[in-house]
């Protein structure tokens, strides 16, 4: 590096007001680690899965759902837990393992 070249630091590119207090950052990161993320990720996933099943049925979705409620529920559960079912199958575990957690199944059913 030449003597006349100036070495820039990251702090030169943003105002001083944007600097973070390390203690504050550590405090909030520890609080965020303790927050349960279950409803924030699973509930939207269940909603989008149910919407996908309804869209796949097409314009006769309501009529089909009233005639075959169990098949609609089962297909929604299969779509909702498809990732876990596939991962368990590929890892040699029981594919129906996600259905052991009754709370997740009840939440997906309620949605």
State the average pLDDT for the chain: 86
pLDDT tens track for 40-65: 889 999 999 999 999 999 898 889 99
CB 52 within 8 A of CB 84: no
What are the helix (H) ranges across 68-101? 69-80, 82-90
Residue 79 has pLDDT above 90, yes or no: yes
Q: Which residue has the higher pLDDT, 22 or 41?
A: 41
pTM (2 decimals)? 0.66
Percent of the chain at pLDDT exceeding 70: 84
């Amino acid at each position: 590096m030449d003597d006349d070249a100036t070495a820039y630091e990251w702090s030169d590119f943003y105002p001083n007001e944007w600097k973070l207090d390390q203690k504050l950052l550590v405090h909030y990161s520890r609080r965020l680690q303790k927050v349960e993320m279950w409803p924030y990720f699973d509930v939207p996933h269940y909603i989008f899965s149910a919407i996908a099943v309804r869209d796949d049925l097409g314009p006769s979705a309501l009529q089909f759902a009233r005639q075959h409620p169990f098949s609609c529920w089962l297909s929604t559960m299969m779509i909702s837990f498809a990732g876990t079912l596939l991962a368990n199958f590929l890892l040699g575990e029981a594919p129906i393992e996600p259905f052991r957690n009754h709370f997740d199944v009840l939440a997906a059913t309620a949605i």
